[in-house]
Amino acid sequence: MTTNGRLAGKVAIVTGAANGIGQATARMFAREGAALGLLDKDAATLTAVADELKKGGTKVVAKAGDVTRKDDISGLVAEAVAQFGPVTVLVNNAGVTLTKPFVDTSSDDVDFLVGVNLKGLMYASQAVIPHMQKAGGGSIVHDASNAGIVGRPWQPMYGATKAGVVSLTKSMALSLAALNIRVNCICPGSIDTPMLRGALKASGDFDNNWRRTSMVIPLGRIGEADDIAAATLFLASDEAKYITGAVLPVDGGRTAGVAEVSHLTMDLPKS
């Protein structure tokens, strides 16, 4: 399955690996020679993805689990280390979203968002850092969001947790630099995943919402999961060995200017 082998000899953990960006990242990492430890709550799909990768010759351990449960992620890391050697790459992809006005947001909503988007990221990072230190270094890539860079009136608390990921990326990069552990984050824009499709359906007219979303993206299209996986691969690889603390928007140019508006209420152009 290996193509260029940009991750040959590396052991990578990917959270939220069953669907969307996580699945695309796992497949791309497999093609580039990594051994993989995969975690997701969706046990059936995760097993199917792992079996597919194993048939292609990739070394894989997969665990159905929840990043908010510390033992789930530490157990996966321990199993990957036992089978393949020290983990040197971590992709904190697992995340959840919430579209709800600020005044209607409950404390349970906040606990849900913080639990997955920040606490889960912390647990996974803490589990791999000792192994990276023993290996002489490593690369951690967080999946944040462009909602962590600019405000979104329809996703205020989601954006707040992703802004936390952006800030944490920089702090971790500084604190771990002496260990040769690089920490960077990707800020995806609107990407064609089950999460985005679910959000657009929940907001009302899916077709019009899809068109409205595309309208505020300078490149004129909603992104693909492989767009994020490719950026993640670069940051995880030795090609990015002098990059740490970077916050990389991969959003078709959406946060480059002033196009970030409440697009779900925009008027559509007349056909």
CB-count exposure of residue 243 (10 Å: 0-12, 13-18, 19+): middle
pLDDT over 90 (residue 158): yes
Task: Reply yes or no on whether the pLDDT at 41 is more than 90.
Answer: yes
Per-residue pLDDT tens digits for 216-260: 898 989 999 999 999 999 999 999 999 999 999 999 998 987 655
Check whether 112 has a pLDDT greater than 80.
yes
Token code pair at residue 20: 């969307």
Q: How far apart are CA 13 and CA 26, in angstroms?
A: 9
**Does residue 98 or residue 29 have the better pLDDT?**
29
Asked if 76 and 101 count as a contact pair (C-beta separation under 8 A), the reply is no
Q: What is the pLDDT, as a whole number, of residue 262?
A: 46
Mean pLDDT in the chain? 92
Q: With 90 as the cut, is the pLDDT of residue 109 above it?
A: yes
**Residue 123 appears among annotated catalytic residues:** no
CATH of range 11-254; options 3.40.50.720, 3.90.180.10, 3.90.1150.10, 3.40.309.10? 3.40.50.720
Total Cβ atoms within 10 A of residue 199 = 21
SS3 readout for the chain: CCCCCCCCCCEEEEECCCCHHHHHHHHHHHHCCCEEEEEECCHHHHHHHHHHHHHCCCCEEEEECCCCCHHHHHHHHHHHHHHHCCCCEEEECCCCCCCCCHHHCCHHHHHHHHHHHHHHHHHHHHHHHHHHHHHCCEEEEEECCHHHCCCCCCCHHHHHHHHHHHHHHHHHHHHHHHHCEEEEEEEECCECCHHHHHHHHHCCCHHHHHHHHHHCCCCCCCECHHHHHHHHHHHHCHHHCCCCCCEEEECCCCCCCCCCCCHHHCCCCCC
Is the pLDDT higher at 98 or at 16?
Answer: 16
Sign of CA dihedral 217, 221, 222, 227: negative
Which residue among 29, 123, 154, 158 is the active-site one? 158
Enumerate the domain spans of the chain: 11-254
pTM surpassing 0.75? yes
| 46-64 per-position pLDDT tens digit | 999 999 999 999 999 999 9
Question: Is there a contact between 233 and 32 (Cβ–Cβ < 8 Å)?
Answer: yes
- 127-142 mean pLDDT: 98
Give residue 250's pLDDT.
Answer: 97
Residue 38: which pLDDT band, with cuts at 50, 70 and 90? very high
